[in-house]
Amino acid sequence: MPKLTRKSYTRKLVVVGGLVFASVALISTGFAAFIISNNAKKDVNSNVQIGTIATASLEFEDVAITDNKSFKFDGAAGDNEGRVTTSSGEAENLSITITGKIKNAQYLNRCTAQLTVPTGLQEAVSKKYIVLPECALNEEEVEFGTPSANNVVDFSYTVTFAWGAAFGGINPSLFFDSYEATDADGKKGRDYSQQEVIDALADFRMTMFGITPAGAEVTPEDYNADAVADNNVYKVTFTAYTN
């Protein structure tokens, strides 16, 4: 497999005078990939796992992710102009909603949710690329409805990430085209040079996936879906407590 040098790496990222967020691969594991090399594709339903813990006679049932089932840190939806755009019809998805039921709710006192995130995403938070939802920091209370006649309650819980101060709190595809949005150091998006944009997006992606290139060169295998799958799984754990 030919190696991807810095020169060819830059050439592949610059497309018609701009940069492209690409979703040609790794979509199934929850992230879109930048166009850097030809990536392998692995078909799975989601990168989010759901865990449930109940005490006494409480039981969870029909717990599922609705609609958008994976977190995707891709370009902004509909952003097809400027230096950084979205391609392949995919766009960011920073929220998922999980619904379900709790049986024997006559014993239910409270329910909480806790999110466990991949190591790479924790590093991305430290670099101010991403902002974690509250449930990744602490157990968060989950609201639920009034018990039905057969003592079943419905619940719905949404987990939402946000873009960090390194991108002015907005999607990087919008930030690097903005004359107003500023990063954590007060630098406007449009003040970044083309090479600085390339370097920032490459670092963001490698940080999120936990990729550490060897020296100045990286091989296409480094960007294979299988190489990053283990660092791309989120788990939301629901715990129901009795009275």
**Per-residue H/E/C for 69-94:** CCCECCCCCCCCCCCEEECCCCCCEC
Percent of the chain beyond pLDDT 90? 33
Token pair recorded at residue 232: 């791309």
- Of 219 and 73, which is predicted with more confidence? 73
Q: What is the average pLDDT across 149-153?
A: 92
Instruction: Look at residues 116, 103, 113 and name the one whose alpha carbon lies nearest to residue 143.
Output: 113
pLDDT for 45 equals 53
Percent of the chain beyond pLDDT 70? 70
Question: What is the residue type of 213?
Answer: P
Q: What is the average pLDDT across 20-24?
A: 36
Low-confidence winner among 115-119, 192-196, 212-216 (lowest mean pLDDT) = 212-216
Distances, alpha carbon 176 to alpha carbons 17, 122, 127, 144, 187, in Å: 13, 23, 17, 41, 10
pLDDT for 2 equals 43
**Per-residue H/E/C for 105-134:** HHHEEEEEEEEECCHHHHHHHHCCCEECCH
Q: What is the pLDDT of residues 162-184, one digit of tens each?
A: 999 999 999 999 999 999 999 99
Q: What is the pTM of this model?
A: 0.75
Instruction: Look at residues 136, 121, 133 and name the one whose alpha carbon lies nearest to residue 205.
Output: 121
Distances, alpha carbon 99 to alpha carbons 57, 71, 227, in Å: 20, 16, 31
Q: What is the pLDDT of residues 63-93, one digit of tens each?
A: 888 887 788 888 888 888 888 887 656 788 8
